[in-house]
């Protein structure tokens, strides 16, 4: 099980990043006080995303996170309504997919369903 990923975001985009992840089903959870105010954690079903406010943050060109979003169409619309860029992408394994741009420029793949399990 993947427990968490850490994503660098511009310091001024921390709260907007929390909003983005909330719109795809994650909720803000507490983080250790020792980490300070520059790190915020969000979580869904035991998987966390750690948002780290970083001057000079970096964004991979093709690297991205991918999340299964139960209400795929609704989530895409909520993101668009909140001003986030969302682009539909070709289906794979018969499931809808899209890419959204999170604050700081990170690509997030939105999946209607996960790939089938390998034999």
Domains along the chain with CATH numbers: 4-56+63-111 (3.10.180.10)
What mean pLDDT do residues 107-112 have? 94
What is the largest distance, in Å, between two alpha-carbon atoms of the chain? 45
**Tens digit of each residue's pLDDT (9 = 90 or more) over 45-66:** 999 999 999 998 888 888 888 9
The confidence score (pLDDT) of residue 2 equals: 80
The confidence score (pLDDT) of residue 98 equals: 96
Dist. CA 113–CA 94, nearest whole Å: 9
Contact 80, 102 (CB under 8 A): no
The confidence score (pLDDT) of residue 115 equals: 85
Nearest to 49 by CA among 118, 94, 102, 116: 102
pTM of the entire predicted model: 0.88
More confident residue, 70 or 85: 85
What mean pLDDT do residues 74-100 have? 91
**Tens digit of each residue's pLDDT (9 = 90 or more) over 9-42:** 998 999 999 999 999 999 999 887 777 778 999 9
Q: How confident is the model at residue 94 (pLDDT cuts 50, 70, 90)?
A: confident
């Amino acid at each position: 099980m993947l427990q968490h990923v850490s994503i660098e975001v511009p310091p001024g985009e921390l709260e907007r990043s929390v909003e983005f992840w909330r719109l795809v089903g994650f909720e803000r959870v507490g983080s250790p006080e020792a980490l300070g105010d520059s790190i915020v954690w969000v979580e869904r079903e035991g998987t966390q995303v750690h948002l780290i406010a970083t001057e000079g943050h970096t964004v991979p060109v093709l690297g991205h996170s991918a999340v299964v979003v139960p209400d795929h169409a609704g989530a895409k619309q909520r993101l668009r309504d909140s001003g986030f860029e969302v682009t539909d992408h070709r289906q794979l394994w018969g499931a809808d997919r899209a890419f959204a741009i999170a604050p700081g420029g990170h690509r997030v793949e939105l999946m209607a369903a996960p790939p089938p399990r390998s034999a």
